[in-house]
């Protein structure tokens, strides 16, 4: 290969940094082989309060350092980011989960994600035992994770080949978690930071299902 391949092995509980400020974390699922559930988080920068900085007598030469979240010092004084930054703001998060049976621990791992993409191998809730035997999930179980996690949206993917029309089973999921969609080839979305009164130039994450 004309490039270097670096292999990183992760187990449940691992956390790692990714480009563009993303932070990944994983927990283990339950399947015939190792299965990991992935979460990606993008923190949002805290807003700088210039009025507080001025009132505290902090020189402008120290502002950039404080905005980066670092302590600042100058001849005659010091300051910490908490002195001039507003409270933390909600960031962005998404989760990806497939090839696993339902586990209650998933809800905690995906707490508050903007988008959860998860398998829905079986659409009929009557196939719950079959799903468990094969280490997969039903639409209802996937929706239960999204509901219990307080997710904002749910995309279902990884359907059984025997399910020729996944959309026919969608009501089983929306009865538990209304903001559910059946994934399909080419489905995309845009995840934006929550709107605030002042204009923001923060980053955006684009999500695409498997």
Tokens standing for residue 118: 């998860």
Tokens standing for residue 101: 């049976």
Q: What pTM does this model have?
A: 0.83
* Lowest-confidence pick of 52-61, 115-124, 150-159: 52-61
Decide: helix, strand or coil at residue 189. Answer: strand
Q: 3-state SS of 101-164?
A: CCCCHHHHHCCCCCEEEEECCECCHHHHHHHHHCCCCEHHHHHHHHHHHCCCCEEEECCCCCCC
Question: What pLDDT shows up at residue 198?
Answer: 58
Delineate the domains of the chain, giving CATH numbers in brackets: 15-45+88-207 (3.60.15.10), 50-83 (no CATH)
Q: How far apart are CA 144 and CA 107, in angstroms?
A: 9
| The pairing of beta strand 22-28 with beta strand 36-44 | antiparallel
Taking residues 149-170, report their average pLDDT: 96
Tokens standing for residue 180: 């559910």
Taking residues 128-149, report their average pLDDT: 97
Question: What pLDDT shows up at residue 32?
Answer: 87
Run of H or E residues at 67:
helix 63-67
Q: How far apart are CA 31 and CA 76, in angstroms?
A: 61
Residue pLDDT, tens place only, 167-181: 999 999 999 999 999
Taking residues 50-62, report their average pLDDT: 93
């Amino acid at each position: 290969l004309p490039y270097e391949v670096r292999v990183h092995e992760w187990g449940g509980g691992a956390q790692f940094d990714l480009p563009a400020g993303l932070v990944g974390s994983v927990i283990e699922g339950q399947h015939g082989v190792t299965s990991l559930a992935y979460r990606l988080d993008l923190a949002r920068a805290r807003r700088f309060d210039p009025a507080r900085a001025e009132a505290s007598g902090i020189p402008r030469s120290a502002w950039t350092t404080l905005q980066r979240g670092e302590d600042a010092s100058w001849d005659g004084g010091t300051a910490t980011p908490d002195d001039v930054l507003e409270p933390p703001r909600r960031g962005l998060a998404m989760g990806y989960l497939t090839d696993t049976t339902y586990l209650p621990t998933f809800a905690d791992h995906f707490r508050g994600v903007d988008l959860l993409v998860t398998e829905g191998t079986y659409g009929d809730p009557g196939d719950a035992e079959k799903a468990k035997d094969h280490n997969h999930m039903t639409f209802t179980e996937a929706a239960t994770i999204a509901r219990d996690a307080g997710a904002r949206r749910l995309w279902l993917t990884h359907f059984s080949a025997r399910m020729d029309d996944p959309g026919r089973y969608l009501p089983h999921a929306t009865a538990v978690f209304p903001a559910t969609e059946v994934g399909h080839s080419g489905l995309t979305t845009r995840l934006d930071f929550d709107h605030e009164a002042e204009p923001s130039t923060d980053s955006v994450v684009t999500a695409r299902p498997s």
